[in-house]
Structure 1
Amino acid sequence: MIRLDEGSPREQLTRYLLDHHGIRTETDLSLGQRGLMWRMDRRARTIFLSRILPAESSTFWMAQALGQIEHQAVFARTIRRSRLRESEARGLARVYLTNYFAGALLLPYERFRITAHEVRHDLERLQRHFGVSFEQACHRLSTMQRPGSEGIPFYFLKTDIAGNILKSFSANRFTQSRFGGPCPLWNIFRAFSTPQQVQVQLSQTTDGALYLNIARTVGRSSISYLDRPRLTAVVLGCSIADAEHLVYSAGLDLNDPRMIIPIGPGCRACTRENCHHRALPMVGHRVDVNNEGRGIAPYRTAL
């Protein structure tokens, strides 16, 4: 089993795949044009990687391929023990297992947890230290709940610019919207107006919980005027009780209520009245329309 040392994880994986499995890695421009990130040709003993991928993404796909090569039996046994019966569900389970393996290989649990604590969860420093992307560092932090060796309970969410939820994990009380899109006051949407810059926010959800949220756009840049890369952003959040352990709390007055942004679970489920950003009435409640005057919205929700 490979153990990645400090240095370039891509170079180490390239060498390991060749030395231990006789598998070469090559880049292929046509993969991106066909909508593929990578593919494995077992007959040619070659892993082809899309040339348009950032280095961190290429490394992740190499780690995923290694997981399929060395631990296919483990993944199959885990899936057999599950309650999944549909072939589509079992296929997706295999994808998620290989994804988790890749993240664990690139970001070893204890070393990553300790380093994250030492740098006060500075995501940019973790990126450089482990040679991973901003998103990969955020995602891994949201999974650090091994009994007896827990990290800070984070939630993690990824969305596109239209508000479609692409990934969502939570190790704390935070839950995503079940009806409609997420709250527009959330800083994950502010991140789209300042690409590649970290947005920090103190927020309060409708259940009274307070969070420190860190958001930033992620994904590859355009490779051509005619290219249309997917516009996505991620947010990582923790309870305000843990904010002192994050470098992003520096300079924030955590006790000033004026700094706290009230966010909701999406308009359909949000109980906040007179919200300037409400787009839809709350589901299950009567709408009160006043024809002789109006507030911010053309109706009031009778709670």
Structure 2
Amino acid sequence: MPRSLRPLYAGARVRELRGRLRISQSAMAQRLGISISYLSQIETDGRPLTAAVSLALAAAFPSDWTGVDEDEGARLLAGLAEAAAEPLLPEPPPEPEALARAIEQQPALARRFVALHAAWRRAEDQLQRLDDAYDTGTAAGGRLPWDEVRDWFHDAGNYVDLIDVAAETIGNSLQPGVEALAERLRDRHRIELRAQTGDSSPLRAYDPAHRILTLDPAQVAESRAFQLAHQLARIELADEIGQILARATMPSIEASRLLGIGLANYAAGAILMPYEAFRGEARRLRHDIDRLRRRFGVSFEQACHRLSTLQRPDARGLAFFFCRVDMAGNITKRHSATRLQFARFGGACPLWIMHEAVAIPDRILTQLAEMPEGTRYVAIAKGLVKESGSYDRLPRRYAVALGCEIGEAADFVYADHLDLDRADSATPIGISCRICPREDCDQRAFPPSGRALRVDPERREVVPYRFD
């Protein structure tokens, strides 16, 4: 038997987890599906952790429970459980004890099954990339620098530890707000802050020769603070950003420069919202975005974006996806710590709530959505307007969306009024029409790639074709 499958006693770890989350024994027992007395025995090391309870802890508290043994057996058990729970498989997954026995009796077969599932996931991701390339005509000519940078952050899991840890130190030493950031730039770096003049001012402009930083005065306080944090990051985290750029081996100078800007923007968010402080408040407030943004003096979009980056290995936040979509349906930002991945180019499924939110600014919309393979997500979307400061310049209108898998809905305040249990309560969505297998979607824009079409001239439905 693998060492990790022998009796494991982890009472102190379970008690520490419950104390950190500030929940009672009764509440934790209910989340785990066990009795209070059983949980009490586990916490006092009167009973060991069974495979069932260990997996229940991982499922109920995926962002906080890291397990008690990180050896091959434990990782294999977790991987096998994830692969066996793949929504595309029609049968319910085996019980945890059965998975543990499978590893004990056929470890090589279990490893092959986990590897096969991982390979299938990679193939799905590659199919999505090919679909995106087909949409934009970049398959032959390579990706654009902007797309290279977005994919770099995607491959990094949208968490950059070297930057995040250093930015957290800076953020913890500052008071929230524009004044503290401007004071640090002035006192430590002799940088003078000025307001831009003129009708077509850039949001931020820095003159290194005269050490003058100018900002567009039309920006709201949260945006000005972000621009100041960006400039501070470029100066105080120059070594860390340089190290990452040296290792990134971007294919062009333009891509490397864009990545440098992206890393400074990442650092700016981490300065304004230091990791542990922000993660703790997010958990305490059940990820209520408006309360979080007031607490840290940031915008709604900035808070949503930061939530999608809380993936520090030893202190993960809730696994979120985040995206921003413009009035034409183009996804201009996308990050996902969940299994859901966005189309890299073009628009997303029109049934997603974020498209409706663009037309309804300053109102949070909620949605329970289901992907074709059966995974469900709780999502919110809010339409936002960035004023231009001038009648002659149109304001920017877009929407941001944030969501998590349904298994983490208890920690997401926006799920409280959704019917999560009814089978037909979820909106059936997809990633891209060209890789979506749904046959009964009235919103389909294109047939799926590689599927033979069936066209009947004597019959007209909403979509003028069927497919095999």
Query: Contact conserved, 1:180 with 1:268, CA < 8 A, in 2?
Result: no
Query: Contact conserved, 1:4 with 1:12, CA < 8 A, in 2?
Result: no
> Which residue of structure 2 aligns with residue 73 of structure 1?
239
> Which residue of structure 2 aligns with residue 139 of structure 1?
305
Post-superposition CA distance 1:159-182 (Å, at most 9, x none)? 111121211111110011257521
Query: Contact conserved, 1:188 with 1:216, CA < 8 A, in 2?
Result: yes
> Which residue of structure 2 aligns with residue 272 of structure 1?
438
For the residues of structure 2 that align with 1:178 and 1:41, how far apart are their CA atoms? 35
> Which residue of structure 2 aligns with residue 24 of structure 1?
192
| 230-239 vs 73-82, greater mean Cα deviation | 73-82
Runs of 5+ consecutive residues of structure 2 not aligned to the other structure: 1-168
In the alignment, does 2:243 pair up with 1:94?
Answer: no
Query: Contact conserved, 2:387 with 2:396, CA < 8 A, in 1?
Result: no
Deviation at 1:239, TM superposition (A): 0.3
> Which residue of structure 1 aligns with residue 378 of structure 2?
212
> Which residue of structure 1 aligns with residue 177 of structure 2?
9
In the alignment, does 2:429 pair up with 1:254?
Answer: no
For the residues of structure 2 that align with 1:23 and 1:180, how far apart are their CA atoms? 40
Post-superposition CA distance 1:42-73 (Å, at most 9, x none)? 23322100122121111111001011122223
**Which residue identity is paired with 2:301?**
E
For the residues of structure 2 that align with 1:112 and 1:291, how far apart are their CA atoms? 59
The runs of at least 4 aligned residues of structure 1 exceeding 4 Å deviation read 4-7
In the alignment, does 2:285 pair up with 1:119?
Answer: yes
What's the secondary structure of 1:231's corresponding residue? strand
Q: Please show how residues 50-69 of structure 1 align to structure 2 within 5 Å.
A: 50-69=216-235
For the residues of structure 2 that align with 1:157 and 1:180, how far apart are their CA atoms? 13
Q: Please show how residues 125-164 of structure 1 align to structure 2 within 5 Å.
A: 125-164=291-330
Deviation at 1:139, TM superposition (A): 0.6
Query: Contact conserved, 1:204 with 1:211, CA < 8 A, in 2?
Result: yes
Larger radius of gyration: 2
| 264-273 vs 231-240, greater mean Cα deviation | 264-273
Question: Would you tell me which structure has more helix in proportion to its own residues?
Answer: 2
Q: 1:182 to 1:25 in 2, by over 3 A?
A: same
Query: Contact conserved, 1:179 with 1:268, CA < 8 A, in 2?
Result: no
Post-superposition CA distance 1:223-247 (Å, at most 9, x none)? 3443212221111110000011011
Post-superposition CA distance 1:99-142 (Å, at most 9, x none)? 11101100000000000000000000011000001111011100
For the residues of structure 2 that align with 1:78 and 1:233, how far apart are their CA atoms? 31
Q: 1:209 to 1:17 in 2, by over 3 A?
A: same
Q: Residue 399 of structure 2 is aligned with which of 227, 233, 254? A: 233
In the alignment, does 2:341 pair up with 1:175?
Answer: yes
For the residues of structure 2 that align with 1:101 and 1:223, how far apart are their CA atoms? 27
For the residues of structure 2 that align with 1:184 and 1:29, how far apart are their CA atoms? 41
Query: Contact conserved, 2:367 with 2:427, CA < 8 A, in 1?
Result: yes
- The TM-score normalised by the length of structure 1 is 0.93
Query: Contact conserved, 1:159 with 1:233, CA < 8 A, in 2?
Result: yes
| 123-132 vs 172-181, greater mean Cα deviation | 172-181
Q: 1:79 to 1:248 in 2, by over 3 A?
A: same
For the residues of structure 2 that align with 1:181 and 1:144, how far apart are their CA atoms? 26
Query: Contact conserved, 1:274 with 1:295, CA < 8 A, in 2?
Result: no
In the alignment, does 2:200 pair up with 1:33?
Answer: yes
- The TM-score normalised by the length of structure 2 is 0.61
% same residue: 41
Query: Contact conserved, 2:361 with 2:385, CA < 8 A, in 1?
Result: no
For the residues of structure 2 that align with 1:134 and 1:5, how far apart are their CA atoms? 23
For the residues of structure 2 that align with 1:219 and 1:17, how far apart are their CA atoms? 29
Query: Contact conserved, 1:156 with 1:237, CA < 8 A, in 2?
Result: yes
Q: 1:222 to 1:256 in 2, by over 3 A?
A: farther
Q: Residue 166 of structure 1 is aligned with which of 332, 355, 379? A: 332
Q: Residue 350 of structure 2 is aligned with which of 156, 171, 184? A: 184
RMSD of aligned Cα (Å): 1.8
Query: Contact conserved, 1:204 with 1:262, CA < 8 A, in 2?
Result: yes
> Which residue of structure 2 aligns with residue 109 of structure 1?
275
For the residues of structure 1 that align with 2:174 and 2:384, how far apart are their CA atoms? 24
| 84-93 vs 194-203, greater mean Cα deviation | 84-93
Query: Contact conserved, 2:329 with 2:346, CA < 8 A, in 1?
Result: no
Q: 1:3 to 1:165 in 2, by over 3 A?
A: closer
